[in-house]
């Protein structure tokens, strides 16, 4: 399909989604959010797509978040699809991994999209912030809940209550950035991470992500271990052809032929 506000490039089992509104620093308005929701619906449903990368067009911004000018021109109305801002922040059932290649500014909802991803690769010049209180809003697309879980309440409050900007290296020290890429290479570095994921069994990757995400919501490690066989992606792993193929390939000293089913 041809999209108006993003591009989608399928490279084998890898889907690269690029937010394409560089004229407004890749800020998102309702039509762009709806389009991205449709893109990630298609990614989730496609058995041949195993890993996604989301990035921004140009070299200035990953996403500056909500398009405030558009919102102001529409009397403050803000319509978000059920899957959330950028089609990701309220998508809690996606077991396939998503990597954010943050190539510049990731502010407000842009930062929330990155936090809703599983891995964040940041350009060395990337800037992160949740500045919503400075414009009378709040980061209610998951940022207020995800950031404290990732870096701890005290550190998160230091960012949230001031709206201060954090660079890539500090983000790595705080713990929400996985790796800092040389300027202009965030997407390429993200692809190397994706390649490592793609070496693994896709059903195993989904089961692992599902177990981590759902397990963190359990009251204890014991409860998570006892519940995990009932998690959808874990149950699907046990039923899959890949569950047989992996050990068989190891025993036969050959590369596994993953099917993702």
Active site residue ranges: 112, 132
Rounded to an integer, what distance in angstroms lies between the CA atom of residue 206 and that of residue 237? 8
Dihedral, CA of residue 131, residue 67, residue 95 and residue 255, to nearest 10 = -100
Structure tokens at 81: 């699809």
What burial letters (b/e) apply to 10-35, b meaning 16+ CB within 10 Å?
A: eeebbbbbbbbbeebbbbbbbebbbb
What angle, 0 to 180 degrees and rounded to 10, lies between the N-to-C axes of helices 143-151 and 109-116?
50
Per-residue CA distances from 39 to 19, 51, 91, 97 (Å): 11, 13, 12, 15
Residues 6+ away with beta carbon under 8 Å from 71: 29, 77, 78
Q: Which of 179, 212, 196 is nearest to 14 (CA)?
A: 196
Residues 6+ away with beta carbon under 8 Å from 149: 216
């Amino acid at each position: 399909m041809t999209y108006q506000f993003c591009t989608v490039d399928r490279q084998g089992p890898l889907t690269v989604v690029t937010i394409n509104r560089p004229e407004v620093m890749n800020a998102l308005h309702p039509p762009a959010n709806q389009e991205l929701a449709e893109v990630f619906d298609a990614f989730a449903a496609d058995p041949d797509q195993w890993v996604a990368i989301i990035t921004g067009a140009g070299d200035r911004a990953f996403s500056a978040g909500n398009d405030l000018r558009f919102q102001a021109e529409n009397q403050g109305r803000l319509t978000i699809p059920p899957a959330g801002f950028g089609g990701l922040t309220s998508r809690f059932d996606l077991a396939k991994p998503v990597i954010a290649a943050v190539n510049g500014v990731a502010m407000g909802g842009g930062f929330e999209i990155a936090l809703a991803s599983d891995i964040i690769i940041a350009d060395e010049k990337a800037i992160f912030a949740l500045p919503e209180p400075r414009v009378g809003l709040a980061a209610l697309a998951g940022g207020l809940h995800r950031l404290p879980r990732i870096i701890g309440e005290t550190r998160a409050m230091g960012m949230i209550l001031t709206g201060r900007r954090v660079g890539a290296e500090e983000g790595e020290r705080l713990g929400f950035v996985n790796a800092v890429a040389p300027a202009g290479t965030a997407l390429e570095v993200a692809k190397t991470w994706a390649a490592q994921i793609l070496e693994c069994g896709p059903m195993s990757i989904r089961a692992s992500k599902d177990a981590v995400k759902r397990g963190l919501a359990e009251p204890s490690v014991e409860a998570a271990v006892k519940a995990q066989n009932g998690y959808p992606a874990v149950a699907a792993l046990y039923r899959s052809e890949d569950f047989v193929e992996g050990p068989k390939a190891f025993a036969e000293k050959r590369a596994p032929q993953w099917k993702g089913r």
